[in-house]
Chains A and B, each alone.
Chain A
Amino acid sequence: MYLVSSYHRLLAGIRYCLRVAITVLICCGLSYAGSMRFESAGTYVSNDTYYLDAFARVDLGMEPIQALVNGVELHFLVQLAVYKTRRWWIDTPILERRLRYRLDYYELTQHYRVTNLQSGKSENFRSVAAALRELGSLSRYALLPANEINNRRQYVASIQLELDLTRLPGPLMAQALRSREWQLETEEFQWSLN
């Protein structure tokens, strides 16, 4: 008898907890914040060149999507770096590169447009998800010539993607710099080069 009642009580407790959790999730969902994270990144050598393949899952969240749809251009910044690790001293960067991308919404044709600001080429997407997938993926990017790498030493490469708030229109930037929903950046993804 006692066991049965305690079992019911346990169930009731679990149910209560679930209800609370759902409520919290719904509340969070109303002001749903985005996130960015690298799923994978890696280098390989081909034709005496180190190539980079990376894929980041980019989820902008409510606020930036809203801004995008309303004609605000979003700028993204990819920061690439290769370090030579040193045991007794600070690691030396042998490569530091910034890649800039622009995402905007073309109302007339209802396209999401991703522009590589390095090459000036742009791609159009029907959905924002596709645009973000393209934005988050970097394939066969020539990183550096293989002869710059000394195989007897250790090298670490890192990649980071962030939403560049400083390129936002003034009034929005003032707001974005203070808002948590706009603070979008991946953690630094690191892997060993060789």
Chain B
Amino acid sequence: MATRDGGVSVVIKLIRNLANSLALMLFLFLFLMATLFFVANTGEHLDSFGRSYQWWMFGIVMALGLIGILICASLWRLVADLRNNVSGSRLSLKLVVILVVMALLPVTLVYSFSVKFLHSNIDSWFDVEVESALDDALGLSRESLNVYMRMRQDTTLNVAERLAEIPDELAILVLNDFGADSDVTELTLIGADNRVIATTAFGDDLSVAPERPADDIVSRARAGISYLSIDPGSDGDLQVLSVVPVFLSDPSRGTPVLYATYPVPRNSSVLAANVQESFRNYRQLAYLRTPLKQSSIATLTLAVFLSLMMAVWVAFYTARRLIVPVHDLVEGTRSVAEGDYSTRLTTSGRDELGYLVQSFNDMTDRIEAARASAAQSQLLVENQRAYLELVLSRISTGVITLDENNRVRTCNASAAKILRVSAEVLQSIDALVTDSLVTDGDDNDFVRQFFSNIKPMLAANRSDWGIEFELVGEPGRHPVMCRGASMRSGGDEHAGHVLVFDDISDVVEAQRNAAWSEVARRLAHEIKNPLTPIQLSAERLQHKYASKLHGDDATTLKKLTNTIVQQVESMKGMVKAFADYATTPGVEFKVLQLNDLVTEISWLYREGNELDAISLQLQENLPLISCDPVRIRQVLHNVIKNSFEAMAQQPQQEMTITSRSGAYKDKPSVELIFEDKGPGFPADLRDRLFEPYVTSKRKGTGLGLAIVKKIVEEHGGVVRAENISSDDGGGRLTVLIPAVEHKTQAPNETTVANGTVQPATTDKDSYGDAA
């Protein structure tokens, strides 16, 4: 099947190629012209031209058939093109139709007139007068020949009479004698037994054997019926043939027959032959009138048909040649319209179409160059924008641009992060109508506060301004430093604002911590110095005067000095605590299991009121953490102590320590949760719980949680405090410390590095993420 299809396609391709071949067409055309010329010539001259006639006709039919097939192929292709809407096919059709019509009109006209003229022309050859004249001429010739013939007949009869008296032996003498003085060609006496008795020939050609008349003529003559005719000879000359019986005087010898031939005189013979030839030609022509007309018209029709076919083919050929550049142009234009600017057309010729094609190529060249440069500059701009975006997304400062209608145009990731809102939401905000955002929920609270604060600045439309304010929300208070500038477009028109802002919580807190540390250090230093002399003085006073005093005085002295010593001791402790807060000892990180530390510390509290008060819920296979065990122990001590102090007034003292693996900043971490049954954290202190000197207890430095927070942050973790429920109280403190990655199976207490591992600084912004 495939090979058949292949064969068919090869044949179709061949036909198509042939249909486009100028050489083949030229050859066919010349062949047909020659054939037609030949056929027309021979038809006209009435000559026979042999068996080749049939082959010529066959050749003509084959050639016409081939041209027909090629034309059909072209037509088929055109129809297919029209159906498939191939560009240029309609123009092709128009051209073909126009050319064919142009050829058809004159050809039809010439053809119809030619047929008419042919008919009348051939008919005009035949004339009644000419015909009768020829008939008459022939009749006249025949008549004159008859006269001559009769004269010769008489001569022969004379000889026959003379022979009647003469015996056979002497017949030859009579014949010779007679032949000598007449123009007879041949004289033969045939005996009764059909034998030649005597014969004699005269004239030029003596070599020719004497001819005998046909037997039937001889026998008829013997019966008394003479024969007389004038016959055309083999050489074309006429001769009179006369056969007469010789009635012998002695009838017993039978009846011989005398046979004589006479030449017709040369002049008469030639003239008669001419008349005969003309008459013959005329008769033949008259007889062949119809076939002649038919063959002439057939030749003419063939010629016309040939010219028409050639015209059709030329129409197809020309149309195809003309359409090629047009088709190319249409296809090229289409592909350019579809965005393919690489289209180049092959230039065809030096005519206007060629110029058009050249112009098209120039145009696409320019368009492509322009497009390439535009694309390049766009790429450049894109790259710059991407670079700028990258820079903006990497910096921690929030950047927002507003358009001239104060709508947010762009914002970077940090802006969205600081304002706790997604970039998409942020980009849909109108800076001046942020009040409506309140209804959207707490998530947009920061945004609302932010834009409320900068609204007056935007309204003032100052070229450069700065403002500092706090965003208050669930995770706490966030001081924000915002700078703004109004932008001007090229025409010095207002083109919006650019806002640059920072969450400066860390800065503020660091400043506060630094201030506190300085205060604590100075206070400790200033207070610690006089304490020792005071204590020593009080002990010396007791020592020197206790023995000198008696009774109540001595007791009072002792009591007072003891009070002084005790208070100084307690003050020393307080000063030490301050000093501890202010100074950070060198930390030593080790990788260890937090559960072990928790268990170890909780054991220390298994006595007195605190017996069995601590319940542990420790997750097994807890990830390891890298920490300074001494400082973590302090954290545990501080928290547990803080809880028991809070629960001092409670009838039931219970505390739960839960450990589990959690996630902090998308990294694995260990979560330690302390829950007690105490009164919880007072609402008014919640914002400042971890600041130094903030305490709800009557006695206490307020440094416990501050130190906890400080240590936890040194380990890269975070600490949160909250109440379990608002009604029954109960405080919960959550500590998150990052785990050591990929080292969950590491042995306990492995030293990683001596105080060299520095945990990342705490990022306050991650509160939300961790909560």
Q: Are A109 and B238 neighbours in the complex by a CB distance under 8 Å?
A: yes
Cα of A166 to Cα of B54 in the assembled complex, Å: 9
Please pick, from B138, B141, B281, B291, the residue contacting A171 in the complex, using a CB distance under 8 A. B291
Q: A70-B284, A108-B275, A170-B46 are in contact. Are A122 and B51 (CB under 8 A)?
A: no
Q: Is B288 on the interface with A (CB-CB < 8 A)?
A: yes
> Residues of A contacting B45 with CB < 8 Å?
170
Contacts of B232 in A (CB 8 A): 106, 108-109, 111, 113, 122, 124
- Give the chain B neighbours of A72 by CB distance below 8 A: 284, 287-288
Q: Contact at B283–A120, with CB atoms within 8 Å?
A: no
Within 8 A of B (CB), among A124-177: 124, 126, 166-175, 177
Q: Which of A70, A106, A169 has the most CB of B within 10 A?
A: A169
B87 contacts the other chain (CB 8 A): no
Binary interface encoding of chain B residues 37-69 relative to chain A, with 1 for a CB under 8 A from any of its CBs, else 0: 001001111111111011000000000000000
Within 274-314 of B, Cβ neighbours of A (below 8 Å) are at 275-276, 279-284, 286-288, 291-292, 294-296, 298
Whether B418 is near chain A, meaning CB under 8 Å from some CB there, is: no
Asked if A13 is an interface residue, CB under 8 A from chain B, the answer is: no
B142 at the interface (CB under 8 A from A): yes
The docked-state distance in angstroms from the alpha carbon of A121 to that of B208 is 12
Is B43 touching A171 in the complex (CB atoms < 8 A)?
yes
> In the complex, are the beta carbons of A108 and B47 less than 8 A apart?
no
Interface of A is mostly: mixed
Please provide the chain A residues from 53 to 90 with a CB less than 8 Å away from any CB of chain B in the complex: 66-67, 70-72
CB contact under 8 A between A166 and B145, given known A71-B281, A107-B138, A107-B280: no
Q: Which residues of B contact A126 (CB under 8 A)?
A: 229
Are A109 and B230 CB-contacts (below 8 A) given A66-B287, A72-B284, A72-B287?
A: yes
Taking CB atoms, residues of chain A closer than 8 Å to B53 are: 166, 170, 173-174, 177
Q: How far is the CA of A2 from the CA of B383 in the complex (A)?
A: 122
B165 at the interface (CB under 8 A from A): no
Interface size class of A (residues with CB under 8 A): 20 to 34
CB contacts (< 8 Å) of A107 on chain B: these are: 138, 276, 279-280, 283
Residue among A166, A169, A172 making CB contact with B50, cutoff 8 Å: A166
Partner of B288, one of A111, A115, A124, A172: A172
A148 and B282 CA atoms in complex are apart in Å by 50
Contacting pair A109 B283 (CB below 8 A): no
Q: Name the one of B138, B229, B294 contacting A174, with C-beta atoms under 8 angstroms.
A: B294
Q: With the chains together, A171 CA to B53 CA distance in Å? A: 11
Contacts of B43 in A (CB 8 A): 170-171, 174
Asked if residues A168 and B48 are in contact (CB atoms below 8 Å), the reply is yes
* Smallest Cβ-Cβ distance to A134: which chain B residue: B214
Judge whether B164 is part of the interface by a CB distance below 8 angstroms.
no
* Residues of the A chain whose Cβ atoms lie less than 8 Å from the Cβ of B138: 107-108
- A174 and B230 CA atoms in complex are apart in Å by 36
Residues of A within 8 A of B (CB): 66-67, 70-72, 106-109, 111, 113, 115, 120-122, 124, 126, 166-175, 177
The 5 nearest A-B residue pairs measured at CB = A70-B287, A71-B284, A171-B291, A71-B280, A169-B46
